[in-house]
């Protein structure tokens, strides 16, 4: 009997040891949410006033990155698109013959780095930059047209905020344009916008002056069509396909266990193991852990190259294991994200074997996204597009556990 009890005790100890070992290995195989891959996209974590990058959010873990586009470079591209147009124009561009090129400016969000960069690029190109993206801080500029020097005056710059508090609001732009025409009349020689949605909103104003050039930014499908129809003068492509693919490819690389430079080069600036490589120019800035797509100007000379339906042939089907990603979009009504970015994400995600769950906010309250940033344990990685650029910590707080 004693031998039997000893044998049973030994068996129990062995089973307990094996169970404990298996439990430890199982626990070790579970990745905590705080350690999972995370990509901020489109809205770079930053201070809305100073523009300083929020490196506390960017350094959340070793698998945290940002994917966007070269905002400063894009502002410069838009500025050059405008000045090239003006320098090729004739005296009729000055509608009332007062020797002044007057323009109005639709600002997306004074607290958004991309909006700031576009406003700065426009004003620097026209000579109206006075060291601030504040709508009220400008100076008189100048430009030469047909051998004559004209003064350049920003008649008014205004942030387009909807009645619900949402920024980059196209309806607000329609209303503002109507008011500007009433207020300034033939003093308006040109209209410039921080994005296509607001530019298209301006064109919806019933009293929009025929023939006045108008410039947008984003190369949305409707804006490209408008250029082809002679309604919109120009826009800037921020290579949305490169951004969408970059967001997914960085996540894919992290999920596949890649480290170091491989995270932001494989499938991006050099082929990955499946032969994928983004065709558009992109670069990595280690200082801010950001991958950025370059920009290009679009006008009546080249608009057909940017028509809808063109996707990056450099991205092919992978055989990597399927992974689940929770992705937030700050505003379901945002024209660029809904009509350009999200369709691109939905196109490339299956090719990279990523199952996307997309939740969208209202563009006004961070809670509209945060309240849907749930069931986090069900996902292998996260992609975050915030309502406000300084809200990174709010999302990270939910990933602590």
Cβ-based burial of 200 (10 A; exposed 0-12, middle 13-18, buried ≥19): buried
Q: Residue 366's pLDDT is what?
A: 97
Q: Residue 139's pLDDT is what?
A: 97
Residues of the chain with CATH 3.40.50.2300: 72-237
Q: Residue 346's pLDDT is what?
A: 97
CATH code assigned to 72-237: 3.40.50.2300
- CA geometry: angle 6, 10, 15, nearest 5 deg: 150
**Number of alpha carbons in the 13 Å side-chain half-sphere of residue 92:** 5
pTM: 0.75
Rounded Cα distance between 203 and 218, Å, is 16
> Which residues are 360's β-sheet partners?
329
Q: Residue 308's pLDDT is what?
A: 65
Q: Residue 29's pLDDT is what?
A: 57
pLDDT tens, residue by residue, 33-69: 999 999 999 999 999 888 899 999 999 999 999 999 9
Low-confidence ranges of the chain (pLDDT < 50): 1-28
Q: C-alpha distances in angstroms, 342 versus 9, 56, 195, 220, 348?
A: 61, 27, 17, 12, 10
Output the six-digit token pair for 13. Answer: 């100890």
Q: Residue 236's pLDDT is what?
A: 96
């Amino acid at each position: 009997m004693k031998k039997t009890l000893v044998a049973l005790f030994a068996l129990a100890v062995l089973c307990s040891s094996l169970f404990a070992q298996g439990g430890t290995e199982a626990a070790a195989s579970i990745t905590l949410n705080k350690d999972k891959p995370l990509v901020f996209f489109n809205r770079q974590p930053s201070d809305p006033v100073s523009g300083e990058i929020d490196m506390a959010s960017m350094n959340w873990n070793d698998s945290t990155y940002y994917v966007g586009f070269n905002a400063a470079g894009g502002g410069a591209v838009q500025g050059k698109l405008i000045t090239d147009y003006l320098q090729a124009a004739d005296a009729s561009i000055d509608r009332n013959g007062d020797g002044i090129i007057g323009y109005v400016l639709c600002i997306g969000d004074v607290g958004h780095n991309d909006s700031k960069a576009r406003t700065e690029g426009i004003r620097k190109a026209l000579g109206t930059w006075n060291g601030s993206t504040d709508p009220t801080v400008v100076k008189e500029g100048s430009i030469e047209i047909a051998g004559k020097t004209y003064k350049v005056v920003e008649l008014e710059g205004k942030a387009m905020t909807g009645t619900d508090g949402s920024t980059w609001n196209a309806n607000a732009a329609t209303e503002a344009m109507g008011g500007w025409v009433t207020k300034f009349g033939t003093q308006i020689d040109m209209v410039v916008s921080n994005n296509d949605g607001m530019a298209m909103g301006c064109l919806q104003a019933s009293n929009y002056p025929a023939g006045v050039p108008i410039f947008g930014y984003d190369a949305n499908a409707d804006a490209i069509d408008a250029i082809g129809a002679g309604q919109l003068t120009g826009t800037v492509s921020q290579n949305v396909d490169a951004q969408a693919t970059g967001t997914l490819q960085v996540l894919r690389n992290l999920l596949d266990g890649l480290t170091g430079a491989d995270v932001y080069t494989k499938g991006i600036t050099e082929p990955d193991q499946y032969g994928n490589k983004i065709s558009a120019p992109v670069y990595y800035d280690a200082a801010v852990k950001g991958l950025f797509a370059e920009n290009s100007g679009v006008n009546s000379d080249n608009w057909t190259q940017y028509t809808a339906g063109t996707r990056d042939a450099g991205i092919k089907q992978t055989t990597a294991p399927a992974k689940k990603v929770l992705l937030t979009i700050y505003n379901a009504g945002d024209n660029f994200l809904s009509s350009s970015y999200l369709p691109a994400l939905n196109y490339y995600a299956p090719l990279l074997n990523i199952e996307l769950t997309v939740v969208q906010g209202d563009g006004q309250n961070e809670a509209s996204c945060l309240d849907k940033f749930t069931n986090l344990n069900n996902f292998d990685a996260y992609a975050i597009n915030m309502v406000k650029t300084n809200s990174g910590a709010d999302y990270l707080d939910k990933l602590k556990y």
